[in-house]
Homo-oligomer: A and B are copies of this chain.
Amino acid sequence: MKNLSEAVGSGADEDSHLVEKKLSSDEILTGNFLQICRDTVSLPDGRHTTREYVVHPGAVMIVALLDDGRVVLERQYRYPLHAVMIEFPAGKLDAGESSLACARRELQEETGYTAREWARAGVLHPAIAYSTEFIDIWFARGLTPGKQQLDSGEFLDVFSATPDELMNWCGSGRVTDAKTLTGMLWLTNMLSGAWTLEWQAARP
């Protein structure tokens, strides 16, 4: 079977057999929370079809490292699944907000913590078939506790665990949230030294 470079090829049009092109776009739902678009697209073979997707502003997730090596976690009821889920802190970007500003705000609002240093690890895309959402993955360290400031209608528990505890919950099925599982991939590679982070000091 082909490897990646054989599959990708080398020409400028290397992906023309895969790419879909937008012909038109309509917002078909403007909800209280969800915005849904339906685009008409041309397929690689020239036929037309429609693609429907959630339009999302993007989000951040924070892997916050306590000085004793534990990480900050949340338990939150997630209505679509009718279950309390274990998650890394996360939240949506406000309009015009930078990713780091959002990460600092969400960590402080949801957990009370402020961090002395931050590092952007990468990005994940949770639902590539039907959402534009990206989640920037941030690490934080040098944490100082403070007062939680939850949004109206937001209810969550904050707790901490060791990376080993969290990894066990990932393997046992207690943690099933994809962003948190992805954060665990980053955390384990960061702790082993396989992947490195570029830390920056938080400015006031």
Contact = CB atoms under 8 A, between A and B. Distances in A.
A109 interface: no
Query: Which 7 residue pairs across A and B have the least CB separation, nearest first?
Result: A7-B159, A178-B178, A53-B80, A78-B128, A51-B79, A181-B182, A18-B77
A37 to B, nearest CB: 9
Secondary structure class of chain A's binding surface, majority of residues: mixed
Interface residues of A, number: 87
B80 A51 contact: yes
A57 to B, nearest CB: 12
A57 B124 CA distance: 23
A156 B18 contact: yes
A191 interface: no
Interface string A134-168: 11000000000100000001011111110001010
Contacts of A173: 122-123
A79 B41 contact: yes
B122 A7 contact: no
Given A4-B161, A159-B2, A181-B124, A75 B18 contact: yes
B39 A52 contact: no
